[in-house]
Amino acid sequence: MNTKAIILFGHGARDARWREPFDRLVVLWRAQHPNVRVELAFLELMQPSLEEAISSLTGTGDNEVVVVPVFFGQGGHLRNDFPVLLSACQEKFPEVKLSTTPAVGEDSAVLQAIIDFGASAL
Amino acid sequence: MNTKAIILFGHGARDARWREPFDRLVVLWRAQHPNVRVELAFLELMQPSLEEAISSLTGTGDNEVVVVPVFFGQGGHLRNDFPVLLSACQEKFPEVKLSTTPAVGEDSAVLQAIIDFGASAL
């Protein structure tokens, strides 16, 4: 059976509190999409790594994983580091179909929500 | 006359393409809130700095500036670097009322838009 899961992939930071919105995203996802498993993964400074997150999902049967970069801009991290990392993960998990989306900052609804948040502060 | 402006404050990055969503935010803001001036500012690696952005807004008459951190998480940059920077700016521009909001990643509508973007990729 094909089952698809999602990984929300963030940069990571030294301060543990940085991940709070990411933890909130997981809570929201599980409430709204209970049939699609979700894991967080971080490029650096936080756990789990992308490889660990994929391993955790595939270990329980998911064989298709969509990685969503929770980044605003597409700079060096997403253009250079991320493809290399993803490709290494694909080699380690040949039985899993990995795919990705653009960064969430490319999405017009995300940008509109930011605009509305700013406007609400005026 | 009191006039209020907004600064969308991002991290900055080496790759100039990283700022594309920020430039899009400015275009959206100007289309939707033409009476409130907007500037971008970056913590590091990109121009303008927060000080330069404030200077540019106050130089043309705005005397109240709301700084919106376009960050997901509130880690060291927002908890440590940003308050110091803001306080230094407030000292340099005593005639301007500076205020800030939480990071956009604290906003539930922003998080929901990210969830919806992820769901649309499944």
Helical pair A82-92 and A50-58, crossing angle rounded to 10 deg: 30
- CB neighbourhood size of A40 (10 A): 20
Q: What is the pLDDT of residues A9-49, one digit of tens each?
A: 999 999 999 999 999 999 999 999 999 999 999 999 999 99
pLDDT at A84 over 80: yes
The alpha-carbon gap from A4 to the nearest alpha carbon of chain B, in Å, equals 8
A–B interface: beta-carbon pairs under 8 A: 164
By C-alpha distance, the chain A residue nearest B38 is: A118
As a whole number of Å, the end-to-end CA separation of chain A is 51
Residues B42/B77, Cβ–Cβ less than 8 Å: no
- The label of the residue with tokens 């500037």 reads B39
CATH code of residue B76: 3.40.50.1400
Q: How many domains does chain A have?
A: 1
Average pLDDT of chain A to the nearest whole number: 95
Distance separating alpha carbons of residues B25 and A14, to the nearest angstrom: 28
pTM for this predicted structure: 0.96
Of the candidates B3, B4, B11, B63, the residue annotated as catalytic is B11
Tell me whether residues B101 and A107 touch, CB distance under 8 A: no
- For chain B, first and last CA: distance in Å? 51
Contact residues on chain A for B109, CB-CB shorter than 8 A: 113, 116-117
pLDDT value of residue A60: 79
Measured in whole angstroms, how far is the alpha carbon of residue B41 from the centre of its chain?
6
What pLDDT, on the 0 to 100 scale, is given for residue B120?
A: 96
Residue of chain B minimizing CA distance to A101: B121
Question: pLDDT, tens digit, for every residue of B45-89?
Answer: 999 999 999 999 988 778 999 999 999 999 999 999 999 999 999
Burial class (CB in 10 A: 0-12, 13-18, 19+), A104: buried
Q: Which residues of A touch B114 (CB under 8 A)?
A: 8, 25, 68, 70, 104, 107, 110
Are the beta carbons of B6 and B36 closer than 8 angstroms?
Answer: yes
What is the pLDDT, as a whole number, of residue B62?
80
The complex scores an ipTM of: 0.96
CA dist., res. B38 & res. B23, Å (int):
11
How much is the pLDDT for B61? 79
**Domain that residue A28 falls in:** 4-120
Chain A residue numbers with beta carbons less than 8 Å from the beta carbon of B36 are: 122
